[in-house]
Structure 1
């Protein structure tokens, strides 16, 4: 869990508790609060002290908690009471509203501290940068607070941290209302629920997947989102580090951050791109379990792992991150799904990443899907009633048409939405985008969207997947898309170059060999004896023969098999898995290289590992799969220059566990 900056206790503030005594809670409690003086800025720590003055504490029923004042439904953080006299220290984030503190016995509030902890809501929070869908060299800077002072709400920027010589005012401050969400959902008026959850005493996750959110959630749990300020820095020098800060002229300003402007479109340039999908915010384990952020729950069976937190922490700890120049967030962004505090946590968790690496954001099912979605193949309650509005306003996108492209150095990168009609987007690509890609200027063409078009799992999105394949796959081949990146599936699955649903190595030189799943122990072997030289076609035929033998050997999930294949000798070895699907090669053995010619089929990668781990219904080997890992959290990045595109996948220990290179001659 990332630790928020801790403020020193500069002064003590103490207040008597408001005590409720009932027949079911025969105790009396005094509470006092210790905190720094005055409203806090970014975050703070507050110590709550209790003293049971009548009766005895109950170690099974008594607990203390912090509460976000506009959210009466659940606490932010809790601690179990272990003595009649004690204390607990809470970490509080500036979410514009005060926090209160309570002592509970079971479901009943016994005492409420008279003093609250109040943030200065004018302080800029959740700073993030984006490359807008524009050919110009621009960066959009966004942040949130409770007010706009028009021309005095500003960004100061320049070429050094101590020389912020330029100033630009916000061009707009966005927000949204409960009524706006209700109208988009096309439902009768949805009332805000009142009071806390009935089973608050459990101090655990109070609901399971798909019961925590539906089309009613965002309205029932409504809290105003503040203002999302938008400023655009224009006419930037190419490939230049800029320093900046945001806030109010003459008032509170953020700390100084920096970003790298886009490189001019050119094969002579190089960029490094961080890739994340399905991450969310975290803060759901330990003393945060069952809290106002509990909807970002870990995957069942993964243990007490705050996965999103681990992924963001790993990215921060990875020394390679310092060399990243931009980022991609490929859908399922915050997993707020109608729970307002999750957005506050997400922006706080990611502001030192997206505040430095301008991000391209795509819409996933948990951003957009709702029952009356005009695109009926994505008509369900996955967004928790946010219906694209929350994400659109927070990342300055048109929630009805959230597709765009960015040209940065040698790369032409296209963001699509898997939650909108793919036919409309394919027409946009065919008429307005792909014909205007000059491969002599931007030799690499990359497309990303949230849901997979292909994956090794036998589970997919059925008619929606079919519709996306019809709209996109032949178009991608015809215009020579190099790489298609997807998420949604919470595992890693690198596929081959695909055309018409099959591996197609036309235009590639097959130079990868001796691909080894190092986690597996040898069990049995089979040799392919095919006539002719070791060409791509015979290589694929041999793999198919290996897969057939492997399928016959795999009799149950717990005794699956893997494959090691040598393309030079056309031999394969079959292995049994130590654990189902844990096909993890050594870094040296997982490197794969291909030389790509214009018009060749794109390589497909599914990477939703920032969102957890899952073992879908799948065979250990798929004809489309080159490498997969269903057991580990992770993230990826690309290094791109005029002749090489290198993709690397990382586990959360920052190690590189899969790598391939596309080379353009």
Structure 2
């Protein structure tokens, strides 16, 4: 009897395999209209990229928006027609399947939810659970999604669904799933189980992204995903919650600070702080403000409603002082109270700053997302344990959302423990701005269609204007000049002229030190295969344009990102060392800038993205130190000394240290 039923199971498996093969073929060939999801209304019928009136029309050849049932629904018709394919139903292969969660009621702002799938008769290592939001987002298969992932530089395997999942996990992460360690008998014959099924569970850490969500069970892997079943929609208890505050300096006085946060409410909210209150100004962005010449993730399967971005300026503050604050409203709810510190005012005797680039985000629940940056959690957690810095500079490649807009929420939530405490100043990078839209300096696809809009909305800096993301800021004895390597930097351009004037105007009696920052480096020894996708680390046209500015302005220290390791140079100009540091008995390097020679350059692109191996052979004389480790630059400046360390976030040790004197 047992032998007969064993043979029956074998035959059933063969039949199932044939059926799965047929279904997979159908999944790739049967077309249909994909499920659509509603987007926020487009504020202007023109393709205005920036909502403050700077309109940039692109003369689209296809209809990018159309009205359906009175709502504005973003759509690139040509792209959708070619790309979208309907999934054949796989549910008949799983007559006993069920899915459930342990969530009770609406979701909190942060909540871990365990999802259990049971009744699976053919468990596979290719089975996965995706978090889809909104809950009516399309789970159809879209083969061309692979190209849209790749254009941002992400070469990992990701789901080819028509709407990007917030995150996902393979069920094999439950060690009992594939081997069916805890089988359930579904049918008995003469006391013998003839049909048994398997189960598995995975847990997700969810944050409040305002829109409802559902957990979808897929078979067929990532390239041919078939929907087996899904949970009922889950909503957040308060989609209007004020969340993810970060602080920025408004000017160099230390008497004003900007607080920016996200909420699902478009009604003005308050910041209540020690000594006063401030009312928020509200903004947001729509799909029509993204890049619009060609199909891109930000306008299509990567779009997610950003809610409303609130920003308020706190005034009447005292430099180098701690303040308590909370924000929100009676209508949306209130945040918890926390503290921030104002930075030292310009001309103060000392300041301490952290500098890094290329952070991004990763998931604390080990789920998979597009462009996961594994070191980001390590760096944030290391900095959260310190309280000995006055401000942070994030030098480009901020979130790596690159058109998958829900990941901005993930990034903002990740940095809250540090960005809500001190001024978090930013630089635009290639993954915020670049796209072949005729506006970017570099016409790669790095931003996934964002073209700087989410970045400038989430991180308002003291710049000259919209889409002019260069500025300067001073604290203590240091003047910081920040450029955009993604906007025109050639001689005579608006940015070039501004940089030249800014450096010329620095009062070296008040701020004896100048630190210059931009994302793409002027010096790096690194090369990689991804250069084909993202371009060479150093644009050969860049140093001849920028180096004369730095030399004439007597910039002490130039800091870059973009390359995912740490590297320090001599005092270098035009590829030639003009000055070497002196070493003490402990090997500590000192540059004597009383006899200024040229800037010292450092690449610090070590805050999260997968690290790059620095070369070890045929090194140019100007490359003095190279480190492969997650970490950050830590700077202490006073009137006579500028001390710099590269600190490992993994060990807390110092990977490099040097000093400038004058």
Unpaired stretches in structure 1, ≥5 consecutive residues:
1-19, 159-164, 191-214, 299-305, 515-587
Q: Name the residue aligned to 1:132.
A: 250
The separation in 1 between residues aligned to 2:557 and 2:91, in whole angstroms, is 66
The separation in 2 between residues aligned to 1:464 and 1:636, in whole angstroms, is 21
The separation in 1 between residues aligned to 2:428 and 2:233, in whole angstroms, is 41
Sort the Cα spacing of 1:260 and 1:61 in 2 relative to 1 into closer, same or farther, 3 A: closer
Confirm whether residue 173 of structure 1 aligns to residue 290 of structure 2: no
Q: 1:293-332 maps to which residues of 2 (within 5 A)?
A: 293-296=369-372, 306-317=374-385, 321-332=386-397
Pairing partner for 2:168 from 49, 71, 77: 77
Sort the Cα spacing of 1:314 and 1:503 in 2 relative to 1 into closer, same or farther, 3 A: same
* Contact 2:567 2:623 (8 Å CA) reproduced: yes
Pairing partner for 1:48 from 75, 90, 115: 115
Q: Structure 1 residue 252: deviation in Å?
A: 1.6
TM-score under structure 2 length normalisation:
0.72
* Contact 1:245 1:256 (8 Å CA) reproduced: yes
Q: Name the residue aligned to 2:468.
A: 401
Q: Deviations over 1:417-442 (max 9, x none)?
A: 000111332311222x1232111111
Q: Name the residue aligned to 1:156.
A: 272
Q: 1:193-342 maps to which residues of 2 (within 5 A)?
A: 215-249=296-330, 251-266=332-347, 268-283=348-363, 288-289=367-368, 293-296=369-372, 306-317=374-385, 321-342=386-407
Q: Deviations over 1:273-326 (max 9, x none)?
A: 111201110239x8523xxx2233x6xxxxxxx222222233334xxx211110
Q: Structure 1 residue 617: deviation in Å?
A: 5.8
* Contact 1:25 1:105 (8 Å CA) reproduced: no
Pairing partner for 1:619 from 617, 634, 639: 617
Pairing partner for 1:363 from 428, 431, 446: 428
The separation in 2 between residues aligned to 1:110 and 1:504, in whole angstroms, is 66
Unpaired stretches in structure 2, ≥5 consecutive residues:
1-87, 139-162, 172-176, 183-197
Sort the Cα spacing of 1:427 and 1:116 in 2 relative to 1 into closer, same or farther, 3 A: same
The separation in 1 between residues aligned to 2:329 and 2:91, in whole angstroms, is 52
**3-state secondary structure, aligned to 2:547:** helix
**3-state secondary structure, aligned to 1:609:** coil
The separation in 1 between residues aligned to 2:318 and 2:595, in whole angstroms, is 31
Confirm whether residue 428 of structure 1 aligns to residue 509 of structure 2: no
**3-state secondary structure, aligned to 1:366:** helix
Q: Name the residue aligned to 1:98.
A: 212
TM-score under structure 1 length normalisation:
0.71
* Contact 1:612 1:632 (8 Å CA) reproduced: no
**3-state secondary structure, aligned to 1:308:** helix
* Contact 2:344 2:390 (8 Å CA) reproduced: no
Q: Name the residue aligned to 1:521.
A: none
The separation in 1 between residues aligned to 2:262 and 2:512, in whole angstroms, is 37
Q: Structure 1 residue 657: deviation in Å?
A: 1.2
Q: Structure 1 residue 59: deviation in Å?
A: 4.3
* Contact 1:477 1:599 (8 Å CA) reproduced: no
* Contact 2:240 2:265 (8 Å CA) reproduced: yes
Q: Name the residue aligned to 1:383.
A: 447
Q: Deviations over 1:195-217 (max 9, x none)?
A: xxxxxxxxxxxxxxxxxxxx455
* Contact 2:303 2:406 (8 Å CA) reproduced: no
Q: Name the residue aligned to 1:661.
A: 659
Q: 1:625-640 maps to which residues of 2 (within 5 A)?
A: 625-629=623-627, 631-640=628-637
